[in-house]
Structure 1
């Protein structure tokens, strides 16, 4: 079985974590990130699931701790339930990014992919968000810029399904501010010897080549910040993290493209 999953959040530095953990000699991660197995609603019969597509992405000829990274898992309905049925002992890693910055980064990615043609302000407006609320089950893979940022709902579901000791939550910005400490904590959570965390590797923040150079207007950023405030406080309580600086209008990310 796969031992651990980097389950979220999208645009939370999961590519950097995947790349860095791949350097650990005791870890195997697929060369292709995001297999999208447990969020596959049409290609897998979840009453009698076939996990061969997932397993075929790994080399089973050597002992290793095997992990997979698909950051939609923490958001997409039933993904965590499916992971629990697959491996009740699975460990989950979740990186949290300030929800306003996450939303903007998500929009930039979808715009670069030409999956989105609305300006950011319109995409996160009531009309833009209706594309999510009116979608099946009230979720959407592309347009969920704001909805994915309500982390407390996702964490409550995770903690309801998995033991707290099997879940590691950290701040995405900590991977840039304190890379060694953050990586060592991930390795310790997985029961690994600290190798990557003792190195000199620095994470890189990569944006799509054709992503628009755009930041949210201050008034829009403040509106979104207010919308997320209660959830940030609840998320901090659930994850047992200090997120108080996220409540400040002066918060700035350390990640630079």
Structure 2
């Protein structure tokens, strides 16, 4: 079976994969919240925040429709926030989040990589993320044209019943494009991204630009591990060969 141009699709996670925003989530945002409450953001606090955000973005303990909200509530004890002030704590976090998230940079070179896939190879591209559809648009509030190239192929946690690591979002794009899962590539910085891809039957790429270390990503066992998404074009022949093996 030949791999005709346009018959392969690439699906990307967002945070830590296309967006270079890990420092914001793990350091800048909690540090600003700590300053609001007159607290010092210590290395111990950073470790705890990282563990909570790890679970929120793809771990096993904070599943559901509002994983980030639940993670933020768990971090309230870092700031010694009593239960009756937790609503204010959430509001402070949201204000910091909403102000900062619209200014996130892309992974350097990510846009060029997408151009190689779409303009040079005519591959459809999509996003499958644990963020809500509203949060996806919020991240690109100042540059909505970036999302235009995805032609509506945006899957957030609120557009599926079962978010990643379930394969539902990937299979939804598979149906939308009319491309079988074994001709799709799932790209993400988290073990949940890899697991979702495997559950759907796609080729999987793990990138190290987000939460996962090399060791953690190796445990997830994707088909490819790259430092970031900019390595996709130069490895495209190997990726296509891997897809060829599965069709």
Report the TM-score, using the length of structure 1 for normalisation.
0.26
User: In proportion to residue count, which structure has more helix?
Assistant: 2
